[in-house]
Amino acid sequence: MKKTIFCGLVSVLMGIVSGCQSGPERPEVARIVKQIGTAYTPFPVGYEGRITHQDDRIDELRRVATLDELYQLATADSVPMVRLAAFIAIMKQRPSIAKTIALMDIQSQACVPTLYGCSVYMESLAALRIAFLQKNRHYGLSKADSVAIDSCVLFTPHAKHLDYLRYLLCRLPPHRQYYERVKALFLRHHYIEALVALARYRRPEDCQYVLDALQGKVKDPINIAAYWAEYEHIHAPRLPLSEKITRWLHPERTVEDIPEPRLRLDIHAHWQYIPEEDDYNDAEMVRKYALRCVYENPNVPAFKPYLQAARAYRRRQMCDVVN
């Protein structure tokens, strides 16, 4: 889940952070924490992939703070960005402890501002921790630990905030013990990525789900306009008085005229489901996932009529990657 914010707002955002964190007692640690909390992005800035000054601050925090201090920051600091920075520092020293922290707090709905190029996004803290662990196994996380993390993510309830689950479903092997969970994620929880995993089992009773998706049809996609209209109806009483008056004076304003919640600047904001960003609600994207199912399983008889289209789609994908 990503929430785009223009870079011009970054300075305002960082100002909000500075007064909202609970700092450690040792001044040398508190100084670093303040720097991280007031201007922290966990990924390299810019498209060239260069290392940022924030990476240096995390390394400095790792050198100066004790493991106990890092653990306290990673689990209890009031600023999500500081919790993530301390988590990264722990991961580089004791990945097993970082794994415990990530899984212990996997249901966290906190968000972290992250900078990509010239845009700032709000990312799920829980999702970032899982992604960091799995992408940095060279720090000492074992293969067994990695599999355990994947299993935990797969069976975590109410996990829409974990973008990593979508990535996991697209590469999940068809193990028998995962079948019921994968099917439930598609049918009940509406993960279109689960259709890709489900198709790998090649069970005849599941073929119809792929065939329906090839027509851009899945069960109960969200009506995006209705979703935001209902959201606005629920949250309108919390709007400032001036905004209520404006909307009363101008009732012709539509949902599109209303600032979307994902653009509101709140360093302590929680993750929020954005239906436009969920491919399950996009008929064209649903069809593309179905074509992937066909391409990956060319020997399924029911998929034969669509195999040529699936191969053509795959070629276009490869051309897009090259270009």
DSSP per residue, 33-83: HHHHHHS--SS-SSTT-PPPHHHHHHHHHHHHS-HHHHHHHHHH-SSHHHH
Percent of the chain with pLDDT over 90: 54
233 in a structural domain: yes
Confidence grade of residue 260 (pLDDT, cut at 50, 70, 90): very low
160 in a structural domain: no
Say what the pLDDT of residue 24 is: 61
Say if residue 46's pLDDT is above 70.
Answer: no
Range with lowest mean pLDDT among 75-84, 133-142, 206-215, 266-275: 266-275
Q: Which residue has the higher pLDDT, 93 or 322?
A: 93
Q: What is the DSSP string of 73-136?
A: HHHH-SSHHHHHHHHHHHHHH-HHHHHHHHHHTTT--BEEEEEETTEEEEEEHHHHHHHHHHH-
d(CA 81, CA 111): 8
Is the same domain home to 142 and 116? yes
Do 127 and 134 contact (CB within 8 A), yes or no? no
Measured CA distances, 2 to 110, 262, 274, 310 (Å): 13, 8, 9, 29
Percent of the chain with pLDDT over 70: 75
168 in a structural domain: no
154 in a structural domain: no
Say what the pLDDT of residue 236 is: 59
Is the same domain home to 317 and 195? yes
228 in a structural domain: yes
SS3 171: helix
Q: Which residue has the higher pLDDT, 227 or 213?
A: 213
| Neighbouring residues of 139: CB distance < 8 A, sequence distance ≥ 6 | 91, 92, 95
pTM: 0.77
Is the same domain home to 189 and 317? yes
Domain count, the chain: 3
Buried b (16+ CB within 10 A) or exposed e, 84-107: bbbbbbbbeebbebbbebbbebbe
Is the same domain home to 216 and 246? no
Confidence grade of residue 52 (pLDDT, cut at 50, 70, 90): low
Is the same domain home to 56 and 110? yes
Is the same domain home to 183 and 111? no
Say if residue 295's pLDDT is above 70.
Answer: yes
Is the same domain home to 304 and 180? yes
Say what the pLDDT of residue 19 is: 38
Is the same domain home to 130 and 235? no
Say if residue 48's pLDDT is above 80.
Answer: no
Is the same domain home to 95 and 198? no
Do 103 and 92 contact (CB within 8 A), yes or no? no
Say what the pLDDT of residue 20 is: 43
Do 68 and 26 contact (CB within 8 A), yes or no? no
Is the same domain home to 208 and 239? no
Is the same domain home to 229 and 210? no
SS3 141: coil
158 in a structural domain: no
| 203-216 mean pLDDT | 95
Say what the pLDDT of residue 231 is: 76
157 in a structural domain: no
Is the same domain home to 131 and 41? yes
198 in a structural domain: yes
Domain that holds residue 249: 224-271
Do 306 and 291 contact (CB within 8 A), yes or no? yes
